[in-house]
Homo-oligomer: A and B are copies of this chain.
Amino acid sequence: MTAQTAAQAKERLYLFDTTLRDGAQTAGIEFSLEDKISVTALLERLGVDYVEGGYPGANVIDDQFFTECRTRDAVFTAFGMTKRAGRSVGNDPGVQATLNAVSDAACFVGKSSSHQVKVALGISLEENLENLRETVEATVAAGKEALVDCEHFFDGYKSDPDYALSFVRTALDAGARWVVLCDTNGGTMPSEVAAIVGEVSKVVPGDHLGIHAHDDTGQAVANTLAAVAAGVRQIQGTLNGIGERCGNANLITLIPTLALKPGFADRFEIGVSSEQLADLTSISRAFDDLLNRAPARQSPYVGTSAFATKAGIHASALAKDFSTYEHVPPELVGNERNIMVSQQAGKSNLLAALKRHGIELGKDDPRLERLLRTVKEREARGYSYDGADASFFILAHGVLGTLPEFFDVESYRTSVERRHNARGEQVVVTEAVVKIRIGDQLLMSVAEGNGPVNALDLAMRKDLGVFSTRIADLELVDFKVRILDGGTGAVTRVLVESRDGTGERWYTIGVNTNIIDASFEALYESITYKLMKSEAA
Contacts and interface: CB of A to CB of B under 8 A. Distances in A.
A486 B497 contact: yes
B410 A417 contact: no
A120 to B, nearest CB: 4
A246 B120 contact: no
Nearest to A325: B185
Contact of A451 (B263, B454, B513): B513
A428 interface: yes
A28 B25 CA distance: 31
The copy count of this chain in the complex is 2
Contacts of A222: 190, 218-219, 221-222
A416 B414 contact: yes
B187 A452 contact: no
A485 B32 contact: yes
A531 to B, nearest CB: 19
A436 B446 CA distance: 30
A317 B338 CA distance: 47
A34 interface: yes
Interface string A41-63: 00000000000000000110000
Contact of A325 (B30, B184, B386): B184
A378 interface: no
A204 to B, nearest CB: 23
Nearest to A221: B218
Contacts of A301: 216-217
Contacts of A198: none
Contacts of A215: 298, 300
Interface string A370-384: 000000000000001
A486 B478 contact: yes
B420 A216 contact: no
Contacts of A332: none
A191 interface: yes
Contact of A481 (B119, B296, B475, B481): B481
A175 interface: no
Contacts of A306: 216, 245-246
A76 B489 CA distance: 31
B324 A492 contact: no
A225 to B, nearest CB: 7
A419 interface: yes
Contacts of A519: 488
Given A229-B191, A514-B416, A481 B483 contact: yes
B321 A120 contact: yes
A151 to B, nearest CB: 9
A240 to B, nearest CB: 10
B413 A415 contact: yes
Interface string A407-424: 001111111111110000
A249 to B, nearest CB: 9
A386 B28 contact: yes
Contacts of A109: 313
A327 B216 contact: yes
A119 B320 contact: yes
Nearest to A183: B327
Interface string A323-340: 011111000000000101
Interface of A: 25-28, 30, 32, 34, 58-59, 81, 109, 116, 119-120, 152, 184-187, 189-192, 215-219, 221-222, 225-226, 229, 241, 244-247, 250, 253, 257, 261-263, 292, 296-301, 303-314, 316-317, 320-321, 324-328, 338, 340, 343-344, 384, 386-387, 409-420, 428, 430, 449-454, 457, 475-490, 492, 496-497, 512-517, 519-520
Closest 4 CB pairs of A and B: A187-B327, A222-B222, A481-B481, A450-B513
Given A457-B488, A481-B483, 5 more contacts: A191-B263, A219-B222, A245-B305, A414-B416, A477-B486
22 contacts: A25-B310, A59-B343, A119-B324, A120-B324, A215-B300, A218-B257, A219-B222, A219-B225, A222-B222, A246-B299, A246-B305, A246-B306, A413-B418, A414-B417, A418-B520, A428-B517, A430-B514, A452-B516, A476-B486, A479-B483, A479-B488, A481-B482
